[in-house]
Amino acid sequence: MNQNLLVTKRDGSTERINLDKIHRVLDWAAEGLHNVSISQVELRSTFSFMTVSRPLTSTKPLSRLPQT
C-alpha cells in the first residue's frame, strides 16, 4: 500500500497513514468480540483502500475510538 496516503484526523489535521496504529485500534475495537478475525478485517480494508478513488469522510463521530 502507498505509504504516502494521508489520513484526515477529527481536528482536521492530516498525517501519513500509520498501519501499525490502525492495527492497534482494530485490536482494541475487537476486544471481547467473538468470531472476529482482525486479519480478515485488515485484508478487506486493504482492498477498500486500493479501490477507493475519492476521499472517505464520515459525519458521525466514532465514540469508541481513543483520542490520539
Residue pLDDT, tens place only, 36-65:
888 888 877 766 665 555 565 655 555 555
The dihedrals phi and psi of 14, each to the nearest 5 degrees, come to -120, 155
User: Residue 54 has what pLDDT?
Assistant: 57
Q: What is the mean pLDDT of the chain?
A: 75
User: Residue 6 has what pLDDT?
Assistant: 83
Look up residue 58 and give its amino acid: S
- Local structure of residue 42 (DSSP, 8 states): H
Give CA–CA dist 30/23, Å, rounded: 11
User: Residue 43 has what pLDDT?
Assistant: 79
Q: Is the pLDDT of residue 33 over 70?
A: yes
User: Residue 38 has what pLDDT?
Assistant: 86
Give CA–CA dist 56/24, Å, rounded: 20
